[in-house]
Amino acid sequence: HERRDALLKGRGLFGTRNYMVTEVSGTRPSELMVAESWVSSPQTEEQTAYAEAESVYRSFVYDAYTAADEKLLPVLNRLFGQDYDDEKDGVYSALIREVLKAQVRYSETAEAAPDNADPIAYFLTNSRKGNAVLYASATVQALRAHGIPARYAEGYYLPIVKTQSSADGTAALTGQDAHAWAEVYFDGIGWPPVDATPGYY
């Protein structure tokens, strides 16, 4: 049975074993964080202060981070809006990594869009190949097209093999480790990353 989308406990005659689980419920995917119950029903003064401050920030987030580029909307709706149901589908159904996987392919060197073309539209409809910057940008726009607050982020990706192969556990990051991803706002929690670039999620 499910406990907070994070823990599965089995009972039965056979005791502890390894199980493979496939989520088929309409609840949020277990990889997403879920706010503690006190966020919506604070019990202490500290919790109340946090909930009040977060609600102010949440209003700002929904005002500033939900508008998709209007010129992109026809492309976004055609690619990411098929069979989407706000009532039953979660965040990943809006973005659907599978849509990107089926429509475009990853390339470290992205083909530049012509001067008069939108880079994201060109990536999704013409060149059909792009780097992490284009995957992250398309992800943000696809999420926003469904009213889901999303923002673009970039920094460095540190694969664990870099630290494991180091004698002292340190690793040098260079431009080769630069990466981009989307972040989605979850009420009461903040901005967890959502990476749609193949090989990084």
Write out pLDDT tens, residues 177-196: 999 999 999 888 899 888 99
Phi, psi of 108 (to 5 degrees): -60, -30
Give residue 15's pLDDT.
61
Q: What are the residue ranges in the chain where pLDDT is below 70?
A: 1-34, 82-95
| CA 143/CA 176 separation, integer angstroms | 28
Tell me what pLDDT residue 1 has: 40
* Pairing relationship of beta strands 150-156 and 129-130 according to DSSP bridges: unpaired
Q: Residue 120: CB partners within 8 Å, gap ≥ 6?
A: 69, 72, 134, 137, 138, 141
- At 155 the pLDDT is 95
pLDDT for 123-135, tens place per residue? Answer: 999 999 999 999 9
- The token pair at 122 is 């060109």
Q: Is 42 helix (H, G, I), strand (E, B) or coil?
A: coil
Q: The whole model's pTM is what?
A: 0.77
Q: DSSP 3-state assignment of 154?
A: strand
Instruction: Say which residues have a Cβ less than 8 Å from residue 70's Cβ, sequence separation at least 6.
Output: none
Per DSSP, the residues of 77-88 read HHHH-TT--TTT
Q: How far is CA 53 from the centre of its chain?
A: 24
pLDDT of 68 = 94
Distance between CA atoms of residues 3 and 132, nearest Å: 35
> Are 185 and 61 within 8 A, CB to CB?
yes
Here the tokens at position 58 are 């949440």
What is the reported pLDDT for 91?
58
